Amino acid sequence: MFFVLNKQKIYTYLVSIVTVVLLFCVAGTLNSTSRGENTIQTGSTTQKLLPIYNVQTQEKKVAFTMNCAW
């Protein structure tokens, strides 16, 4: 298999590679400068409600349930 390269293909590949490298450099610079007071932290204060699987009791009782929630 042979690769045929002409000036237009070489120019296109170089422009593409330079653009990708430049974008990575800009993203890295913006990421490193925003690590100070400007950092936004998000979180959730609500907790996921879980079903009750067992209850400690002295009485001898059995409960049969079917959980069909997906």
pLDDT tens readout for residues 50-67:
777 778 888 888 877 777
- pLDDT for the residue 27: 84
Terminal C-alpha separation, the chain: 53
Q: Is the pLDDT of residue 70 over 80?
A: no
Whether the CB-CB separation of 51 and 67 falls below 8 Å is answered with yes
pTM: predicted TM-score of the whole model, two decimal places: 0.42
